[in-house]
Amino acid sequence: MIKILYFIGELTVGGSERQLYLLLKHMDKTQFEPHVVVFNAGKSNTLEDDLRHSGVNVYSMPPERKAILPRIVWLNGLIRRLRPDIIHSWTLHDNAYAAAAGWAAGVPLRLGSLRGALHSPTYQAAPAPIRWLIAHGVQGHLVNAQQAAEELQRAGVPPKDIRLLPNCVEESDPRPLALPAQIPPTARLVGMVGNLRPEKNYPLFLRGLAQLLPEFDSLYGVIAGQALNPMVERQVDAEISGLGISARVWRAGFQKDVPALLARLEIFCLTSASEGTPNALLEAMAAGLPVIATRVGGIPQIVESGITGILIEPNNLNELKDAMRFFLLNPQEARRMGAAAAARAKERYAPAVILPQLEAYYKEQMKLHIQGKL
């Protein structure tokens, strides 16, 4: 039995958090014993109960432990009590804790993760010693996109210490979500799902939608996601108001049952300026939707343009508008690409495909440690 202690910043229903939940939910508990530390607990819309129901122990960092040293002291006590074989930080900023607390408590194997861009504002703002711990203080990194692996290599991390593990997605057959009164039953819905963060570039989606609304009387836009950044939320609302499209846009907010929302859409868009392997994109593909996404991060490894969707250049309004118009005017082609996307998601990104790769990685790393090669 391999005991693993995971570190994660929070357990809100975001992409990274959802990935950890899916993998631990399906993990073989006869071979692995997973535990999770949440650094910022107590927020709404969390996956804590779902994780516990799947047989995972969850521990919350005491809220009064806000500084680095008190947190390391608390982690040291927990680690010495649990005696894990592996500490695995699931999010970039917690790699430093995995490195420092894991080393201090004598954990044999300390792993980190990069699930987006290494040179994020959070990383850049950290002191140099913390940045070193994030990138070099762990013995291995798990990444979900080739671009992330290349960033780590440029930062001096050897390729042998980096392992690519794509995100996974579950199949679902949901009952479509009830629509609000402002959306007529005959509406054609094009939507974007994702937490409201600057890198998602919602204004581009809204501008593309606004240019098509006069051409398609039954077209409506949908934006769903948690408002994690008040500035971005204000920007989205100001964009909707400024474009004069308030009556044709449904701000759906947080949706716990994303597949039920996706079942209402005709087209899925993701206009991000940067990404790793976006969970919402995989969910849209699994739902059989034709997707339009920017050619950034790990997206080109997921979407095959012209086969499972259409790729556009980041921040290119004309390409976005043309792709949306193509799907709206060619519903048969949209359905064909949607079916191909669903087949691709099942073939390459189901938990039954991805989880064995993660389990094999842990076993391999433990073996290398025992052999003294780490």
Cα–Cα dist 19/333, whole Å = 31
What domains does the chain contain, in order, with CATH numbers? 2-168+351-370 (3.40.50.2000), 188-349 (3.40.50.2000)
Rounded to the nearest 10°, the torsion over CA 93, 88, 258, 340 is 110
Task: Read off the pLDDT of residues 222-269 as tens digits, 9 standing for 90 and up.
Answer: 999 888 788 999 999 999 999 999 999 999 998 888 899 999 999 999
Cα–Cα dist 27/79, whole Å = 21
Which helix or strand (DSSP H or E) is residue 246 part of?
A: none
Structure tokens at 162: 């980096």
Cα–Cα dist 331/337, whole Å = 10
Specify whether the CB–CB gap between 301 and 147 falls below 8 A.
no
Structure tokens at 50: 């779902």
Distances (CA, A) of 183 to 155, 207, 215, 243, 246: 49, 20, 18, 19, 12
Q: Can you give the pTM of this predicted structure?
A: 0.87
Structure tokens at 23: 């993998």
DSSP 315-328: T-HHHHHHHHHHHH
Give the range with max mean pLDDT: 72-86, 135-149, 222-236.
Answer: 72-86
Q: What percent of the chain has pLDDT over 90?
A: 70
Cα–Cα dist 366/346, whole Å = 30
**CA triple 208-214-217, angle to 5 deg:** 110
Structure tokens at 361: 């990685």
Structure tokens at 313: 């250049």
- Which range is least confidently modeled, 32-41, 113-122, 231-240, 335-344? 113-122
Is pLDDT of 150 > 70?
yes
Cα–Cα dist 341/323, whole Å = 16
Residues in Cβ contact with 154 at an 8 Å cutoff, skipping those fewer than 6 apart: none
Specify whether the CB–CB gap between 99 and 138 falls below 8 A.
yes
Residue with the two structure tokens 């999770």: 36
Is pLDDT of 147 > 80?
yes
Distances (CA, A) of 185 to 182, 324, 325, 360: 10, 21, 21, 48
Burial of residue 336 (CB within 10 Å: 0-12, 13-18, 19+) is middle
Q: Which amino acid is at 163?
A: R
**pLDDT given at position 45:** 58
Task: Read off the pLDDT of residues 179-208 as tens digits, 9 standing for 90 and up.
Answer: 998 899 999 999 999 888 888 999 999 999
Cα–Cα dist 302/315, whole Å = 19
Q: In 105-134, which positions are buried (b, 16+ CB within 10 angstroms) versus exposed (e)?
A: bebebbbbbbbbbbeeeebeebeeebbebb
Quick one: average pLDDT of 37-66?
86
Residue with the two structure tokens 């290398």: 368
Q: Considering the chain, what is the average pLDDT of its residues?
A: 91
When comparing pLDDT for 265 and 174, which is higher? 265
**pLDDT given at position 18:** 87
Cα–Cα dist 315/309, whole Å = 17
Cα–Cα dist 207/324, whole Å = 12
Specify whether the CB–CB gap between 87 and 79 falls below 8 A.
yes
Model confidence at 93, pLDDT cuts 50, 70, 90, reads: confident
